Each structure stands twice: as C-alpha cells, then as structure tokens.
Copies of this chain bind each other. A is one copy, B any other.
C-alpha cells in the first residue's frame, strides 16, 4: 500500500464526503480526481477502500468499495498522562512517535512543578493524525485537554495504574517488571503518569499512591520528560502486543 493515499474520516463508513481539510488536501495537493482510489481510516480500527465520485471547488465525494476492518495490534487501553514540557516541540515528537508505536489516550497534567500550565492541542491533533496516516494505523489516540493532577488521579480508571518518579526515598518497583507480572486474568488496561522536568512533588506521588497508583521507576536511566513518556508507551505496547 506504499503509494496509496490515506484520509482520516471519522464515521467514514456512514458518510460519503471527505471532511473539508482532507478534501482540500486530496484535490489541491494530491490532485486526485473522480475515479481515483483512496483509503479512508475511521480512527476506530477500520480502513475503507473507496473511490472518488465527484470533486467540486470545495467538496470531494466518495463511494466505499470495501470495508477493511483491522485486528488491533495491542490489547487493552494504553493511556499516557504527562506533564507537558516547556518546549512544545518535545511533546509534539513524543505524540508523533507514540502514535507510530501505538497507544490509545494522551492526557496532560498540570502539576506543582509544571513549567507549562496551559497548552493548545489543535496542532498536536494534526500531528497525531499525520502519524496515524504515515504509520497506517486506523486507531486515533484520544487527546485530552490539560487537567489538574489531583483531578486526574481522583478519576476512576480501569486496569493497572502507575506513577513514574525519581524519589529514592519512596519505594519504587520496576515498571516493566510489574507490567510483565500482571496476571493473565487481570484487566489489560494501563494508565501511566509521567511528571514534569522537575518531577512530581513528593505530595503528588503520595496522593497518587493513595489513589491506587503503583510507585515505579523506568530503570536506571535519567530520562527527559518526553523520552520517559515515549519509553513508557513503548514498554506498555510491548507487554500488550498481539503476536
């Protein structure tokens, strides 16, 4: 499918027209015309082979030829919640790379030592969609607005929950080892928290533990926030991958 053209169309199966931005890209950049074959991804696990039936100034209609549902490459729901870095570039590449590897949800935390307390997700959403297309993954990770740390951890979550931190005075297990020790009958969902450049505060770590989060370390390496986030996604995906 190397030379194929992919478009992200939520509810692709029940629609007959590309969303505006995708239509503009199809017609103005790729110069596609009526009769050309395209592939749609609906963000929830399906590709569709389709044919363009009509192109107008600002509209591009299609007809589905064949639905191509995909088997998920990993089990459970992988949710990364991370304190955004001061420099947005670093979070952007983490989102891109995590999408390539495969995960389900990305949340942002406003923590005590956060250097960035507000953030816009519009550009990030585009980066994620572009990475979905590039990596041919018809699953779109959910992207959430930034929330207060305390609000995030007090929200109920299914499966295993982890907080990664660097405090040697708080007992920590190894994240990957804990993931592997998960019993087969356990829920496969994973939520993992990564702190800001200055780490979580000790109080935040204690609060998370009280809320059922396991205190873990990502290993002996001292990683930047965005590297830790990607590494946590890679390990979660590795443990949950379907072979």
Give me the interface of A with B, judged by CB distance under 8 Å: 73, 93, 97, 100-102, 134-137, 174, 176, 219-224, 227, 230-231, 234-235, 238, 241-243
Contacts and interface: CB of A to CB of B under 8 A. Distances in A.
A72 to B, nearest CB: 10
Given A73-B219, A100-B227, A174-B243, 16 more contacts: A73-B221, A97-B227, A97-B230, A100-B222, A100-B223, A100-B224, A101-B221, A134-B222, A134-B224, A135-B222, A136-B222, A137-B222, A220-B241, A220-B242, A230-B230, A234-B234
Contacts of A242: 220
10 contacts: A100-B223, A101-B221, A101-B231, A102-B221, A134-B222, A134-B224, A135-B222, A135-B224, A136-B222, A220-B241
Contacts of A97: 227, 230
A137 B221 contact: yes
The 9 closest A-B pairs by CB, nearest first: A73-B220, A135-B222, A136-B222, A100-B227, A100-B223, A97-B227, A234-B234, A102-B221, A101-B221
A242 B219 CA distance: 9
A221 B230 CA distance: 15
B136 A223 contact: no
Contacts of A222: 100, 134-137
A93 B101 CA distance: 16
A227 B242 CA distance: 20
Contacts of A219: 73, 241
A84 B93 CA distance: 18
A101 B223 contact: yes
A3 to B, nearest CB: 12
Nearest to A231: B234
